[in-house]
Amino acid sequence: MTEAREYDVVVVGGGNAALCAALTAREAGASVVVLERAPREFRGGNSPHTRNLRCAHDAPTAMLTGSYAEDEFYADLLRVNANETDESLARLLICRSKTCTEWMSKYGVRFQSALRGTLHLSRTNLFFLGGGKALMNSYYAAAERMGIEVLYDAEVVSIDVRDRSVRLQPNDSRGVRLQPDLRGKALILASGGFESNLAWLKEAWGDAADNFIVRGTPYNTGVPLRALLDAGAQPIGDPRACHAIAVDARAPKFDGGIVTRLDCIPLGIVLNQLGERFADEGEDLWPRRYASWGTLVAQQPGQVAYCLVDAKTANLFMPSVFPPIIANTIPELAVQLGLPADRVSDTVARFNNAVRPGAFDLEVLDDCHTRGLAPEKSHWAQRLDTPPFWGYPLKPGITFTYLGLRVDETMRVMRTDGAPMQNVYAAGEIMSGNVLRRGYIAGIGMTIGTVFGRIAGESAARAAR
């Protein structure tokens, strides 16, 4: 057997958190290797599908309107998570989010203002020029300039936390021989959740998981996460808890990304296969509410639902990559969607009769609501009465899972006995359950990866010295 090659820091993963950790560790003078399971053309984990990062700021900037105070950010996080989070880590995340823009810019990341149709985000979220793909290309280019070694098709088979060694599949998908064993003075796990492991999803969700769409990379199967849990790492989060949104039901099983997302829900009504409404489409501002809709749809018969809008609002949201199903009457639309026309017509009629007059305003929690329905629609309720009518089929689109590794404020992985693992750190989705317990607010996944990735890189480099 060949002797394992040693680095100061071994980073398992190739997305935003992993590269932020690697770049930071290298800044501190550490030798670094990044193990990306995907081939080069699919590198980056879920990050190439992202658009923005949520960040606190005290005053308007060139790309952000108004201010977004740390306490407001924290209140938004608590609100969607039913007041459950690790407060010290959440506060650390929010405070350090203020420094992200300057640090990212140093590595070639560029930004732009929020586009029309990106609901309620111009004040709270910073958008990447060119999207997540451009972001990751900037980071990988910087890694190459700085002498960070990147191994692609580097599938991790096992991890030994005692000597921080990683065993790789000895041959990659192209038959290229890889160094099968690597060792680090410090190890950083930034390899995402287990959302692409369909068997593991079924353990949590049962047969309903068969109908889930995985929005991101097919390479996040949770092997490093399982290895750490088996080695005595302390878990955090519910196996069923995840970032799951409503996506177009016509999306591919894997890697469809953000273009399959549907943001029309607050502008219309959502029906299940029986032609009935089942949730309040206007409960809250969309960035605080959209990630609850994956679970809501997952709880419906067949894990499918349908969103209906009319001509008044049909062009106010970012469209899916798939065209809407269009009809001139509600019964015709119901038939095209495969729904019972009489039931859908009755549901729409009852909804229309329950709508109360108000001043429609997408930028705030307006006073357009219904009265006399179960469930009511709290805001942005408008009668569906202006043809043509549009319909979209919906399925649960899972982005990443929250079950992960408990960490301390230096990103050290904690053991079940309460002690930290020696020189083993985690960042990104694999430890997101420390902060995210039930819900999600738009852009915070990239904040978690950027802030905690940098902290993990700082800590690992310091430990390696």
- Spatial CA neighbour of 92 closest among 402, 465, 456: 456
Whether the CB-CB separation of 14 and 448 falls below 8 Å is answered with no
HSE-up (13 A, CA, CB side) for residue 117: 12
**Nearest CA-CA partner of 268 in 305, 308, 296:** 308
Query: Whole-angstrom Cα distance, residue 215 to residue 267?
Result: 23
Closest residue by Cα to residue 401 from 367, 372, 440, 369: 440
User: Cα–chain-centroid distance for residue 299?
Assistant: 20
Read off φ and ψ for residue 64, nearest 5 degrees: -125, 140
Is 90 strand, coil or helix? helix
Q: 114: how many CB neighbours lie within 10 A of its CB?
A: 20
Nearest to 57 by CA among 151, 148, 122: 122
- Cβ proximity of 440 and 82 under 8 Å: no
Look at residue 427 and give its three-state secondary structure.
coil
Instruction: List pLDDT tens digits, range 324-347.
Output: 999 999 999 999 999 999 999 999
Which regions of 337-388 does DSSP assign to beta strands (E)? none
Q: Are 404 and 427 in contact (CB under 8 A)?
A: no
pLDDT of 196: 97
The pLDDT, as a whole number, for residue 175 is 54
Separation CA 33–CA 56 (nearest Å): 32
Q: What angle do CA 93, 97, 103 make, to 5 degrees?
A: 130
pLDDT in tens, 363-409: 899 999 999 999 999 999 999 999 999 999 999 999 999 999 999 99
Find out whether 247 and 80 touch, Cβ atoms under 8 Å. Answer: no
CA 295 to chain centre: 14
As a whole number of Å, the end-to-end CA separation of the chain is: 28
Instruction: Find out whether 453 and 43 touch, Cβ atoms under 8 Å.
Output: no
Instruction: Give me the residues of the chain with pLDDT under 70, please.
Output: 1-2, 116-119, 171-178
Q: Which pLDDT score, from 0 to 100, does residue 1 have?
A: 43
pLDDT reported for residue 85? 97
